[in-house]
Amino acid sequence: MRRIYLDYAATTPTHPEVVKAMLPYFTEAFGNPSSIYSYGQEAKGAVGEERVKIANLIGDRDDEIVFTSGGTEADNFAIKGVAIANESKGNHIITSLIEHHAVIETYKFLEKRGFKVTYLPVDEYGLIDPGDVKKAVTERTILVSVMYASNEMGTIEPITEIGRITREAGIYFHTDAVQAVGHIPVDVNELGVDLLSMSAHKLYGPKGVGALYIRKGSKLTPFMHGGEQERRRRASTENVPGIVGFGQAAEIAHQEMNEEMERLTCLRDRLIKNLLKRIDHSRLNGHPTMRLPNNVNVSVDYVEGESILLNLDLEGICASTGSACSSSSLEPSHVLLAMGLSHERAHGSLRFSLGKWTTEEEIERVLDALPRIVAKLRAMSPLLKNQR
């Protein structure tokens, strides 16, 4: 049975062209970019070239791109870096209730150390109201962090509007754009952000490499102390093969973005429309139109998301529940709860995330399998019996 992978938001397969570009940097071009002889200088040159490709993908002209070990490190660096470096100006920091754990846990860490945190609410679609950001800002506010697009329910946040508010107030604005970069247009100047996190493995690059965009003149305390790499912003020998892979992936994403957005939006809408039609008591989570082209998140009443996933897996279909970020946790998703879903609905949620190798035939297979699985599980479901 051919497996169908519909969990591209968790991670993407590395593009064959990316692997090809990386390979020489493990062997013949293995140098340390800090070395002054030619091996080192070749590696240094490659890192510089890839930095430009990533800058091009996000409309960055002359600011900074600092390579990190992934999206989590970029988020930690941005938030802790700004908070610590600007503490003398104030200790109030703002974020939302629907952020990825990499942001939420960093805010909680700072909260325990005396920072005051405002967690912004969202509406039923998972949207943040920029008016709430404006109301939350005080004289002591130094940072706002709001994600660009949700990894769970795909809603795209009003970043430009929030950027206008933070610029006017003279405070730092960070966005976790891990799910957006390479998938939808991102332009740091139009958005008015000062800091933006990215991760290569979400856009067909390798795992373990990411980057933080830093607007020129931003004051951040380094997160990693040691050598003088990355203009002293981030110590440690550069992950040269990873960076080359990231750059190659960024270039491909840039070239193919418009076509991919159109193709995936069609597949996404076909899956949403037909799932809601074929499964009663089901509903879409997240915004119907302001959402990532590859994200489908539905709640199916009277069944557990985990049971559906296991049954889908038996049919060779890999998806994810919206209910847990790590599969070991059975807590309902903080994101879906923040949107006002009941615990039951949040437990019955499923996320399909589509990608480069998703076909119409695969979507049809899901549309055939899922209604059957739901009917079978509902026939056995105590949740449904209690309801009758």
**Judged by CB under 6 A, does residue 234 bind ligand PLP?**
no
**Judged by CB under 6 A, does residue 182 bind ligand PLP?**
no
Q: How far apart are CA 137 and CA 121, in angstroms?
A: 14
**Judged by CB under 6 A, does residue 145 bind ligand PLP?**
no
**Judged by CB under 6 A, does residue 100 bind ligand PLP?**
yes
First CA to last CA across the chain, in angstroms? Answer: 38
| Other C-beta atoms lying within 10 Å of the C-beta of residue 189 | 13
- The stretch near ligand PLP (CB under 6 A) out of 34-42, 110-118, 172-180, 292-300 is 172-180
Q: Whose Cβ is closer to ligand PLP: residue 5's or residue 302's?
A: 5
Chain residues 45-74 in contact with ligand PLP, contact rule CB under 6 A:
70-72
| Residues classed as catalytic | 325
Candidate list 147, 220, 257, 366; residue touching ligand PLP; CB under 6 A: 147
Q: Whose Cβ is closer to ligand PLP: residue 142's or residue 196's?
A: 196
**Judged by CB under 6 A, does residue 378 bind ligand PLP?**
no
Amino acid sitting at position 320 = S
Q: Whose Cβ is closer to ligand PLP: residue 71's or residue 371's?
A: 71
Under 8 Å CB-to-CB from 106, ≥6 apart: which residues? Answer: 75, 76, 79, 80
Chain residues 323-352 in contact with ligand PLP, contact rule CB under 6 A:
none
The CA-based angle 229-233-237, given to 5 degrees, is 30
Closest C-alpha to 378, from 273, 307, 274: 307
| Other C-beta atoms lying within 10 Å of the C-beta of residue 262 | 10
- The stretch near ligand PLP (CB under 6 A) out of 84-92, 174-182, 269-277, 360-368 is 174-182
Candidate list 179, 218, 294, 320; residue touching ligand PLP; CB under 6 A: 179
Residues near ligand PLP (CB under 6 A), total: 14
Residue 75 CB, shortest distance to ligand PLP, in Å, is: 6
Q: Which two tokens stand for residue 302?
A: 């009277």
**Judged by CB under 6 A, does residue 178 bind ligand PLP?**
yes
**β-pairing, 317-318 with 141-145?**
unpaired
> Residue number with the shortest CB distance to ligand PLP?
71
Q: Whose Cβ is closer to ligand PLP: residue 51's or residue 174's?
A: 174
**Judged by CB under 6 A, does residue 297 bind ligand PLP?**
no
Helix or strand holding residue 95 (H, E): strand 92-96
**Judged by CB under 6 A, does residue 157 bind ligand PLP?**
no
Answer for the pair 19, 245: CB distance below 8 angstroms, yes or no.
yes
Closest C-alpha to 75, from 189, 154, 175, 183: 175
Amino acid sitting at position 179 = Q
CA 225 to chain centre: 26
CA 306 to chain centre: 22
Candidate list 76, 151, 294, 320; residue touching ligand PLP; CB under 6 A: 151
**Judged by CB under 6 A, does residue 102 bind ligand PLP?**
yes
Instruction: Please count the helices (runs of H) and the strands (runs of E) in the chain.
Output: 13, 13
Under 8 Å CB-to-CB from 361, ≥6 apart: which residues? Answer: none
Residue 175 CB, shortest distance to ligand PLP, in Å, is: 10
- The stretch near ligand PLP (CB under 6 A) out of 53-61, 79-87, 175-183, 339-347 is 175-183
Q: How far apart are CA 249 and CA 271, in angstroms?
A: 27
Candidate list 154, 163, 206, 210; residue touching ligand PLP; CB under 6 A: 210
Q: Whose Cβ is closer to ligand PLP: residue 213's or residue 302's?
A: 213
Candidate list 60, 176, 194, 251; residue touching ligand PLP; CB under 6 A: 176
Q: Which residues bind ligand PLP (CB under 6 A)?
A: 70-72, 75, 100, 102, 147, 151, 176, 178-179, 199, 201, 210
